[in-house]
Amino acid sequence: MSGLVTRRSSGSVAGAARFPDVRLRRNRRTPALRDMVRETTLSPRNLIYPLFVTHGRDVRASISSMPGQYQLSLDHLMEEVVETERLGIPAVLLFGIPEHKDHLGTQAYDQHGIIQEAIVAIKETVPDMVVVTDVCLCEFTDHGHCGVLLDDGVVDNDATLELLARTAVSQASAGADIVAPSAMMDGQIAALRAGLDAAGQSDTPIMAYASKFASAFYGPFRVAAESAPRSGDRRAYQMDGANGREALRELEQDVLEGADMLMVKPALAYLDVLAKARERFDLPIAAYNVSGEYAMLKAAGANGWVDEQAAMMEMLTSIKRAGADMIITYFAKDAARLLRGG
């Protein structure tokens, strides 16, 4: 075939237009050519590895809903963090399972809480590891909601802000590099910024869970973090998945309140929001490849329905291509091994 011929029509065939010999497949002919013209490059430096930490010693409890993931005591957490650094992954995101829970989630902002102890241990063992901490109460409250719960079951927004700020300050004081509020309370970024500044932690950046949707894909995480609500759900404060324009308003509001980084969560079902956020905002943007997305692919791979490694890399690359600078993913170690060649 010497050229490509196409017909253009506006109700009738007006004739044929001849174009030069354009063959897009030429640049795909060999692996070296494909690698040379690749537009999106994924690196271990783009990844953040989420970890679940619990009290005790020699605890490495398998998470049934998330194959390959564990609740870890501090000794095993250190092993994971050392390996994470060896693989070239620059950051971890910590979630805690406390010894006890109460109505106000007091273990979240206890200076000797499990997250605070984990931060100190990581900084002593791997000083250069970037430690990101989740700022929320759901893992620490006996009712499983993300804030202070009133008698009628409604979350008290303003009372929750005070406790979120206390949590962020306690984490930053322990050595956290980045605090990441996920409670989806109105004004939470401004509250954290004010609290951190007043505590002499003005250099601590805030990664805003700015666009966090009420999603069915969080189920496995709630098993892992033991954080499922005992009654009701979180749809009164997490976003409706149908609302893309509102998501951009949430992102913009967090920028105005002083966020240093933004996040879209979940990633795969909201790549359109991620792409629009990348076009509109100049701040670094993270996307959270959440537990349900991980569990689905692990299940499909275990059953031989897909090539797990190939699908994993395709999925993570799509998130990067849509605009994420950072990808929070339970696949971080597996992806880093492949990217480093073993």
Cα 340 to Cα 223: distance, rounded to the nearest angstrom: 31
Known catalytic residue at 276:
no
Peptide bond into 266 cis (omega under 30): yes
Cα 48 to Cα 320: distance, rounded to the nearest angstrom: 13
End-to-end Cα distance, the chain: 43
Joined tokens for residue 174: 């322990």
Cα 117 to Cα 126: distance, rounded to the nearest angstrom: 14
| Class of residue 159 by CB neighbours under 10 A (exposed 0-12, middle 13-18, buried 19+) | middle
Of residues 101, 123, 265, 298, which has the active-site annotation?
Answer: 265
Name the pairing type of β-strands 326-329 and 285-289. Answer: parallel
Of residues 101, 212, 276, 320, which has the active-site annotation?
Answer: 212
Known catalytic residue at 265:
yes
Q: Is 98 helix (H, G, I), strand (E, B) or coil?
A: coil
Q: Which positions are annotated as active-site residues?
A: 212, 265
